[in-house]
Copies of this chain bind each other. A is one copy, B any other.
Amino acid sequence: MMATIHFEDFAPGQVYPLGRRTLTRDEIVAFAREWDPQPFHLDEQAAAGSIYGGVIASGWHTVCAFMRLFADGLLNRSAAMGSPGVDEVRWLRPVRPGDTLDARLEVLEVRPSRSKPDRGIVRLRAAMSNQQQQEVLSFIANVMFRRRAAAARE
């Protein structure tokens, strides 16, 4: 069994590669139909007349694809306790059908909780790049992790 990652295991500058995911046209349209039904996410003809020149993925689809890789690649072998929020979500370039997105995290800051000694906040930069190594998504995530000392007390 893999050792569980706790708050103390993070340090500024660490980089976690999280793997890749391809967004197909069917997935882009299905996601948009459910959560973000704007014409330039749904319909090739409408999208061709938009500033994007063709169907692009909902920005929330890109974020969700990141989140799934984050959960599979790191959170679910960690003592993560959820997140109070994220900052500076930037959709830097359109994501188009068939694009393969490569996800990674960089640790920016670690901060023990002042009020709750069992946990700390890790500030991370999340990013995804396409197959041309162009960044398409960036955001700053604040994630709570249990401290190892606290886990040992349980």
Measured CB to CB, the residues of A under 8 A from B are 34-40, 50-52, 56, 58-60, 63-65, 67-68, 71-72, 75-76, 80-91
Contact = CB atoms under 8 A, between A and B. Distances in A.
Contact of A36 (B38, B60, B68, B87): B68
Nearest to A65: B35
Contacts of A81: 50-51
Number of copies: 2
A86 B89 CA distance: 5
A64 B35 contact: yes
A117 to B, nearest CB: 13
B38 A71 contact: yes
Contact of A37 (B36, B76, B84, B85): B76
Contacts of A86: 89
Nearest to A141: B89
A37 B89 contact: no
Contact of A64 (B38, B60, B68, B83): B60
